[in-house]
Amino acid sequence: MNDQSTHKPIIGITIGDYNGIGPEVILKALEGNQLSRLCTPVIYGSMKVLNYYRNQLGMKDWSLHGIQRVEQASHKLTNVISCWQDNQLDINPGSITTEAGQASLACLTRAVEDLRAGTIQGLVTGPINKDNIQSAEFKFPGHTEFLADAFSVQDALMFMVSGNLRVGVLTGHIPLGRVRSQVNPDRLSKKIEQMLTSLRNDFGIKKPKLAVLGLNPHAGENGLLGSEEVDVISPTLKNFLEKGELVFGPFPADGFFAANTYKQYDAVLAMYHDQGLIPFKAIAFNEGVNFTGGLPVVRTSPDHGTAYNIAGKNQAEPGSLLQAIYLACDISAYRLEKQDIDAGALISKPQQSENQHPAKSGGKQRFNNQNKS
């Protein structure tokens, strides 16, 4: 192992549902080992599946490196760990099958084992079908909840990231009818604290400025359209302001994004899933990243789903997956650097300014530079 390889993070990438677009966007992102200078990619999936899509995409001159464990990874090639017996599956792009769901869980389970062991420094998860993956081992609404349980975190943060646009949600994958009961001072305070901590520790923002949206139309109109803003949100934000934190709101969600007010803040906390993700995806669909904050490990994913309607048609764009890889690299590097700083190892080393740190731009600068090279 050369000196260069020891400074590159090893990033695990799960293929998700192999009948969706996960394998396609992964292959397009990694074709020709183009990210080998940035990281060592290890795909958790199936050589049969990846070769099937590789041939479909006309990538026959580029081969993948099969390994059995991470320690065998080549730092110059794209590595693949096969997580199930290849002769046990049929590949049917666009189809929803039980076998594909079981396979996606096998990949995720194997990758999490390596993430827990520290043999990979970050995990990028390909899109799963939240229905066909359900089993005795997976009884969760999605990746975020599964990983929170795997690493004994009570409530992880779903953090959507694209450049300087960062959107978190108070409530994630729950029915809309249950949202109101979750808007309470304790949960809101914990989620705000999670976001502020992540902005400092993962993105290098020393004094983050956070905007909080209201729950009701027009942020409740002073109680006329709902009491949550008056009774819960505003008093909670006042407590944070009194402690010196830059937390503002509640803002009406529609005008907040329409007027580009989000550009004045380092992050935005929405009250529920669609309130935050609809504007986020409208603004940054092809390059957005889902980052799970609050975990002791680094996990990102593209902000799109399985897209069965275009699976196997060579129509999927890899931009969001690329951004997810870049962000995983940036955050893992920043966390390691911060550990060294906290330990006093880098006291004499000149530090980057806040605006220079790559994680602060959500990996976007790295993506732009890659396209120019």
Decide if pLDDT at 370 tops 50.
Answer: no
CATH class given for the domain over 1-152+295-311: alpha beta
Q: What is the pLDDT of residues 58-68, one digit of tens each?
A: 998 999 999 99
Q: If you average pLDDT over residues 16-40, what whole number do you get?
A: 96
Percentage of residues in the chain with pLDDT exceeding 90? 77
Q: If you average pLDDT over residues 171-181, what whole number do you get?
A: 90
Q: How far apart are CA 30 and CA 33, in angstroms?
A: 5
Q: Can you give the pLDDT at residue 360?
A: 52
User: Which among 127, 89, 144, 74 has a CA at the least distance from the CA of 293?
Assistant: 144
Q: If you average pLDDT over residues 119-138, what whole number do you get?
A: 96
CA distances to 171, 189, 210 from 237, in Å: 17, 8, 10
Q: If you average pLDDT over residues 344-366, what whole number do you get?
A: 50
CA distances to 111, 308, 314 from 117, in Å: 10, 33, 36
Q: If you average pLDDT over residues 338-345, what whole number do you get?
A: 72
Decide if pLDDT at 356 tops 70.
Answer: no
Strand partners, 165: 162
Higher-pLDDT residue of 251 and 337 is 251
Higher-pLDDT residue of 172 and 87 is 172
Q: Can you give the pLDDT at residue 205?
A: 94
- Among the residue ranges 16-25, 115-124, 278-287, the one predicted with the least confidence is 278-287
- What is the enclosing helix (H) or strand (E) of 104? helix 98-117
Decide if pLDDT at 345 tops 60.
Answer: no
Q: What is the pLDDT of residues 178-198, one digit of tens each?
A: 999 999 999 999 999 999 999
**Residues in CB range of 125: below 8 A, 6 or more apart:** 13, 14, 16, 108, 111, 143, 299, 300, 301
Decide if pLDDT at 328 tops 70.
Answer: yes
Decide if pLDDT at 371 tops 50.
Answer: no
Q: How far apart are CA 89 and CA 81, in angstroms?
A: 16
Q: If you average pLDDT over residues 131-156, what whole number do you get?
A: 93
Q: Can you give the pLDDT at residue 223?
A: 87
Q: Can you give the pLDDT at residue 173?
A: 84
Q: How far apart are CA 43 and CA 22, in angstroms?
A: 11
Decide if pLDDT at 165 tops 80.
Answer: yes
Decide if pLDDT at 228 tops 90.
Answer: yes
Residue 4: band (very low, low, confident or very high) from pLDDT cuts 50, 70, 90: very low
* 274-284 burial: b if 16+ Cβ within 10 Å, else e: ebbbebbbebb
Look over the chain and give the mean of its residue pLDDT values, rounded to a whole number: 89
pTM of the model: 0.87
For residue 367, count other CB atoms closer than 10 A to its CB.
18
Q: Can you give the pLDDT at residue 171?
A: 93
Q: What is the pLDDT of residues 259-312, one digit of tens each?
A: 999 999 999 999 999 999 999 999 998 889 999 999 999 999 999 999 999 999
Percentage of residues in the chain with pLDDT exceeding 70? 90
Q: Can you give the pLDDT at residue 343?
A: 75
Q: Can you give the pLDDT at residue 6?
A: 56
Decide if pLDDT at 363 tops 60.
Answer: no
Q: If you average pLDDT over residues 88-112, what whole number do you get?
A: 94
